[in-house]
A and B are shown apart, each in its own frame.
Chain A
Amino acid sequence: MTETIDLSLYTKPAGDGIVGMDLAVEGIACGACIARIEGAVKRVPGVTEARLNFTNRRLHIAWADGAVKPAQILQVLEDNGYHGHPFEPLRAEQEEAIEARRLTRYLAVAGFAAMNIMLLSVSVWSGNVTDITAETRDFFHWASALIALPAAAYAGRPFFASAWRALKARSLNMDVPISLGVILALGMSVVETANHAQHAYFDSAIMLLFFLLVGRALDHAMRRKTRAIAGNLAALRGETAHRFAGDELVIVPVGALKAGDRLLIKPGERVPADGAVLGGMSEVDESLITGETTRRKVTTGATIYAGSMNYSGALTLKVTAAGGAALIDEIEKLLDKAASAKSRVMRLADRVSRVYAPVVHLTAALTLIGWLFAGATLHDALLTAIAVLIITCPCALALAIPAVQVVASGALFQANVILNSGDAIERLAEADMVIFDKTGTLTLPEPRVANSAELDYGLLQNAARLALSSRHPLAAALAREAATRTPFEGAVEEPGRGVRVTIDGAEARLGAAEFCGIPCNLGRESDGISHIYFSCLGQALAIDISQKLRSDAVAVIKTLRAQGLDIEIMSGDHCDAVEPVAQALGIARWQAGLKPAEKIVLIETLRDNGRRVLMVGDGLNDAPSLAAAHVSMSPISAADVTQAQADAVFLGERLKPVLDAILVARSARTLMTENLWLAAIYNAVAVPIAIAGAATPLIAALAMSGSSMLVTLNALRARRVKS
Chain B
Amino acid sequence: MNVLIYLLPIALALGLSGLFAFLWALRSGQYSDVDGAALRVLSDDDIEGTPQR
Q: Which of B12, B27, B32, B40 contacts A116 (CB 8 A)?
A: B12
Kindly supply a per-residue 1/0 record for chain B positions 2-37, scoring 1 wherever the CB is within 8 Å of any chain A CB and 0 otherwise.
001000100110011011001100110001111110
A52–B36 touching, CB < 8 Å? yes
B53–A108 touching, CB < 8 Å? no
Closest A residue to B53 using CB positions: A36
B36–A53 touching, CB < 8 Å? yes
A55–B35 touching, CB < 8 Å? yes
Q: Does A354 interact with chain B (Cβ within 8 Å)? A: no
Known contacts: A104-B26, A133-B1, A139-B4. The answer to whether A112 contacts B16 by CB under 8 A is: yes
Contacts of B26 in A (CB 8 A): 101, 104-105, 108
Contacts of A108 in B (CB 8 A): 19, 22-23, 26
Contacts of A34 in B (CB 8 A): 36, 39-40, 43
Contacts of A116 in B (CB 8 A): 11-12, 15
Q: Which of A31, A53, A105, A136 contacts B32 (CB 8 A)?
A: A53
B33–A53 touching, CB < 8 Å? yes
- In the bound complex, how far is the Cα of B35 from the Cα of A56, in angstroms? 9
Q: For chain A, residues 17 to 38, give those with C-beta under 8 angstroms from any C-beta of chain B.
A: 30-32, 34-36
Contacts of A109 in B (CB 8 A): 19
Q: Does A39 interact with chain B (Cβ within 8 Å)? A: yes
Kindly supply a per-residue 1/0 record for chain B positions 35-50, scoring 1 wherever the CB is within 8 Å of any chain A CB and 0 otherwise.
1101110110100000
Q: Does A352 interact with chain B (Cβ within 8 Å)? A: no
- In the bound complex, how far is the Cα of B40 from the Cα of A143, in angstroms? 43
Contacts of A112 in B (CB 8 A): 15-16, 18-19
Q: Which of B27, B31, B35, B52 contacts A54 (CB 8 A)?
A: B35
Contacts of B16 in A (CB 8 A): 112
Contacts of B53 in A (CB 8 A): 32, 35-36, 39
How close is A94's CB to chain B, nearest CB, in angstroms?
Answer: 13
Q: Does A115 interact with chain B (Cβ within 8 Å)? A: yes
A39–B45 touching, CB < 8 Å? yes
Q: Does A721 interact with chain B (Cβ within 8 Å)? A: no
Q: For chain A, residues 134 to 190, give those with C-beta under 8 angstroms from any C-beta of chain B.
A: 136, 139, 143, 147
Closest A residue to B41 using CB positions: A31
Contacts of A139 in B (CB 8 A): 4, 8
- In the bound complex, how far is the Cα of B19 from the Cα of A611, in angstroms? 52
How close is A258's CB to chain B, nearest CB, in angstroms?
Answer: 34
- In the bound complex, how far is the Cα of B38 from the Cα of A32, in angstroms? 12
Closest B residue to A120 using CB positions: B8
Q: Does A119 interact with chain B (Cβ within 8 Å)? A: yes
A35–B35 touching, CB < 8 Å? no
Contacts of A105 in B (CB 8 A): 23, 26
Contacts of A30 in B (CB 8 A): 39
Contacts of A31 in B (CB 8 A): 38-40, 42-43
- In the bound complex, how far is the Cα of B17 from the Cα of A157, in angstroms? 23
A54–B36 touching, CB < 8 Å? yes
A143–B42 touching, CB < 8 Å? no
Contacts of B36 in A (CB 8 A): 34, 52-55
Q: Which of B1, B19, B33 contacts A55 (CB 8 A)?
A: B33
A115–B4 touching, CB < 8 Å? no
How close is A617's CB to chain B, nearest CB, in angstroms?
Answer: 34
- In the bound complex, how far is the Cα of B5 from the Cα of A139, in angstroms? 9
Closest B residue to A116 using CB positions: B15
Known contacts: A108-B22, A136-B1, A139-B4. The answer to whether A54 contacts B39 by CB under 8 A is: yes
B12–A147 touching, CB < 8 Å? yes
How close is A263's CB to chain B, nearest CB, in angstroms?
Answer: 38
Kindly supply a per-residue 1/0 record for chain A positions 40-68, scoring 1 wherever the CB is within 8 Å of any chain B CB and 0 otherwise.
00000000000011111000000000000
Q: For chain A, residues 93 to 132, give those with C-beta under 8 angstroms from any C-beta of chain B.
A: 101, 104-105, 108-109, 112, 115-116, 119
Closest B residue to A51 using CB positions: B33
B35–A119 touching, CB < 8 Å? no
How close is B36's CB to chain A, nearest CB, in angstroms?
Answer: 3
- In the bound complex, how far is the Cα of B11 from the Cα of A147, in angstroms? 12
Contacts of B23 in A (CB 8 A): 105, 108
Contacts of A147 in B (CB 8 A): 12
How close is A463's CB to chain B, nearest CB, in angstroms?
Answer: 38
B18–A39 touching, CB < 8 Å? no
How close is A138's CB to chain B, nearest CB, in angstroms?
Answer: 12
Closest A residue to B32 using CB positions: A53
- In the bound complex, how far is the Cα of B32 from the Cα of A32, in angstroms? 19
- In the bound complex, how far is the Cα of B23 from the Cα of A104, in angstroms? 9
- In the bound complex, how far is the Cα of B43 from the Cα of A35, in angstroms? 7
How close is B30's CB to chain A, nearest CB, in angstroms?
Answer: 12
- In the bound complex, how far is the Cα of B30 from the Cα of A101, in angstroms? 12
A115–B33 touching, CB < 8 Å? no
Kindly supply a per-residue 1/0 record for chain A positions 458-497, scoring 1 wherever the CB is within 8 Å of any chain B CB and 0 otherwise.
0000000000000000000000000000000000000000
Closest B residue to A101 using CB positions: B26
B15–A115 touching, CB < 8 Å? yes
How close is B45's CB to chain A, nearest CB, in angstroms?
Answer: 5
Contacts of A101 in B (CB 8 A): 26-27
Contacts of A136 in B (CB 8 A): 1, 4
Closest A residue to B40 using CB positions: A34
How close is A20's CB to chain B, nearest CB, in angstroms?
Answer: 15
Contacts of B19 in A (CB 8 A): 108-109, 112
- In the bound complex, how far is the Cα of B11 from the Cα of A115, in angstroms? 12
Closest B residue to A119 using CB positions: B11
- In the bound complex, how far is the Cα of B40 from the Cα of A39, in angstroms? 13
How close is A132's CB to chain B, nearest CB, in angstroms?
Answer: 9
- In the bound complex, how far is the Cα of B4 from the Cα of A133, in angstroms? 13
Q: Which of B8, B33, B38 contacts A143 (CB 8 A)?
A: B8
B1–A35 touching, CB < 8 Å? no
Q: Find the residue from A32, A52, A112 having the highest chain B CB count within 10 A.
A: A112
Contacts of A143 in B (CB 8 A): 8, 12
- In the bound complex, how far is the Cα of B43 from the Cα of A721, in angstroms? 33
How close is B32's CB to chain A, nearest CB, in angstroms?
Answer: 7
Contacts of A54 in B (CB 8 A): 33, 35-36, 39
- In the bound complex, how far is the Cα of B21 from the Cα of A108, in angstroms? 11
Closest A residue to B34 using CB positions: A55
How close is A189's CB to chain B, nearest CB, in angstroms?
Answer: 18
B45–A35 touching, CB < 8 Å? yes
Closest B residue to A43 using CB positions: B52
Q: For chain A, residues 601 to 648, give those with C-beta under 8 angstroms from any C-beta of chain B.
A: none
Kindly supply a per-residue 1/0 record for chain A positions 518-546, scoring 1 wherever the CB is within 8 Å of any chain B CB and 0 otherwise.
00000000000000000000000000000
In the complex, besides A54-B35, A136-B1, 13 extra interface pairs with C-beta distance below 8 angstroms are A31-B38, A31-B40, A31-B42, A53-B33, A53-B36, A54-B33, A55-B32, A55-B36, A108-B26, A112-B16, A115-B15, A116-B15, A143-B8
Residue contacts A-B, CB under 8 angstroms, 8 given = A35-B43, A55-B34, A104-B26, A108-B19, A108-B26, A109-B19, A136-B1, A143-B8
Binding site for B on A (CB under 8 A): 30-32, 34-36, 39, 52-56, 101, 104-105, 108-109, 112, 115-116, 119, 133, 136, 139, 143, 147
Binding site for A on B (CB under 8 A): 1, 4, 8, 11-12, 15-16, 18-19, 22-23, 26-27, 31-36, 38-40, 42-43, 45, 52-53
